[in-house]
Amino acid sequence: MSQLVLDKATIKFGGLTAVNQVCFELEQGMIFGLIGPNGAGKTTCFNLITGLYKPTSGSITFDGHDLSQYPTYQIAALGISRTFQNIRLFGSLTVLENVMLGTYLRKESSLASALLHGGRSIGDTSRKREFATNLLNVLGLGDLLHVRSRDLPYGKQRRVEIARAMATNPKLLLLDEPAAGMNPQEKVALMEDVKRLRNEFGKTILVIEHDMKFVMNLCEQIVVLDHGEEIARGLPAEVKANPKVIAAYLGE
Ligand SMILES: Nc1ncnc2c1ncn2[C@@H]1O[C@H](COP(=O)(O)OP(=O)(O)OP(=O)(O)O)[C@@H](O)[C@H]1O
Ligand SMILES: [Mg+2]
């Protein structure tokens, strides 16, 4: 059984069909790319998967659960976590604090229980700190734990967002343009680290990205959207050579 299934997922905003009958399936442990020109409906797909929007028609299923039945926080608890195209860190908090916030969404340590214990269960907090610190080490941010997030360069902030998303211990990680604003060396390093999140941590990864080299070298399968509709799918090499895809990007 596929882990995530979009079946004719559709959402309309007034007269605009932002996502139109989109279908794709992710197997557990896959690295899957969602690409397309500006306004194609990629981020809207993430908003549908995370429950921020509910589909006008069609369905989205995760581990057999029909996500239309769940509010966003329960979808997060089912094991879906994301980063944002426009970074959403708490700028005045440190790197470590931002990632520790993510740990409160983990199933075994609900925010409710954290509030009930008034932060007094020190053992628990120190475990969260240790967990967050380990994640930040994995993502190469171990020497920036106590830096205020807003003082970091853009590329590092994107990595903190990935660490925060990982802190919820998701099964599926959605990355919305993780390489945006990075230089070529940072992009190569990020690509290797995203592969590690799959290879070493077993995450399923769905990535939106405009950088073609990044997408083609990272993803195993790709779906291409344009004006809310699928125009191509397949292996990176197939998609890259598809005339419809080339035309869509040239038309941008
Ligand atoms: N809440 C909303 N209300 C109205 N229109 C919306 C809403 N969200 C998205 N749209 C529209 O849906 C279309 C798809 O937007 P979306 O953000 O998904 O594109 P995208 O593929 O992520 O593009 P980009 O590469 O620029 O990030 C756009 O025309 C956008 O203006
Ligand atoms: Mg977008």
Query: What CATH number did the domain enclosing 250 receive?
Result: 3.40.50.300
Which residue, 169, 200, 230, sits at the end of a domain? 169
Residues 156 and 183 in one domain: no
- Sheet containing 16-26: which strands, arranged edge to edge? 16-26, 4-13, 57-62, 65-66
Candidate from 13, 175, 249 with most ligand 1 atoms within 8 A of CB, to mutate: 13
pLDDT at 120 over 60: no
CA distance 179 to 187: 6
Residue 43 Cα to ligand 2 middle (Å): 4
Give pTM, 2 decimals. 0.92
Q: Determine the structural domain holding residue 4 and report its residue range.
A: 1-79+170-252
86 CB within 6 A, ligand 1: no
Q: Sorting pLDDT into bands at 50, 70 and 90, what band is 126? A: confident
Average pLDDT, the chain: 92
Question: Which bound ligand lies closest to the C-alpha atom of 42?
Answer: 1
Which residue, 169, 197, 223, sits at the end of a domain? 169
Amino acid 172: pLDDT: 98
C-alpha to C-alpha distances, 220 to 12, 101, 132, 214, 227, nearest whole angstrom: 30, 31, 29, 12, 23
Decide if 207 is inside a domain: yes
Residues 73 and 95 in one domain: no
Task: Classify strands 172-176 and 80-82 as parallel, antiparallel or unpaired.
Answer: parallel
Residues 22 and 65 in one domain: yes
Residues 127 and 177 in one domain: no
Decide if 84 is inside a domain: no
Residues 237 and 194 in one domain: yes
Residues 25 and 133 in one domain: no
**CB contact at 8 A, 9 and 62:** no
Dihedral sign for Cα 90, 94, 95, 96, please. negative
Amino acid 107: pLDDT: 54
Q: Sorting pLDDT into bands at 50, 70 and 90, what band is 139? A: very high
Q: What is the pLDDT of residues 40-97, one digit of tens each?
A: 999 999 999 999 999 999 999 999 999 999 999 999 999 999 999 999 999 999 999 9
Residues 163 and 181 in one domain: no
Residue 84 Cα to ligand 1 middle (Å): 13
Candidate from 10, 11, 12, 16 with most ligand 1 atoms within 8 A of CB, to mutate: 16
Decide if 187 is inside a domain: yes
Decide if 194 is inside a domain: yes
CA distance 142 to 146: 9
Decide if 41 is inside a domain: yes
Q: Sorting pLDDT into bands at 50, 70 and 90, what band is 138? A: very high
Residue 85 Cα to ligand 2 middle (Å): 6
Structural domains in the chain (count): 2
Which residue, 114, 145, 169, sits at the end of a domain? 169
Nearest ligand 1 atom to alpha carbon 53: 1
Residues 180 and 252 in one domain: yes
Decide if 115 is inside a domain: yes
Residue whose CA is at the smallest distance from ligand 1 atom 28: 39
Residues 14 and 60 in one domain: yes
Residues 65 and 182 in one domain: yes
Residue whose CA is at the smallest distance from ligand 1 atom 24: 38
Amino acid 125: pLDDT: 83
Decide if 222 is inside a domain: yes
Residue whose CA is at the smallest distance from ligand 1 atom 9: 44
43 CB within 6 A, ligand 1: yes
Q: What is the pLDDT of residues 157-201, one digit of tens each?
A: 999 999 999 999 999 999 999 999 899 999 999 999 999 999 999
CA distance 81 to 16: 27
Question: Which bound ligand lies closest to the C-alpha atom of 48?
Answer: 1
CA distance 28 to 5: 11
Residue whose CA is at the smallest distance from ligand 1 atom 12: 18
What letters, b where the CB count within 10 A reaches 16 and e where it falls short, cover 41-79? bbbbbbbbbbbebebeebebbbbeeebeebeeeebbbbb
Q: Sorting pLDDT into bands at 50, 70 and 90, what band is 127? A: confident
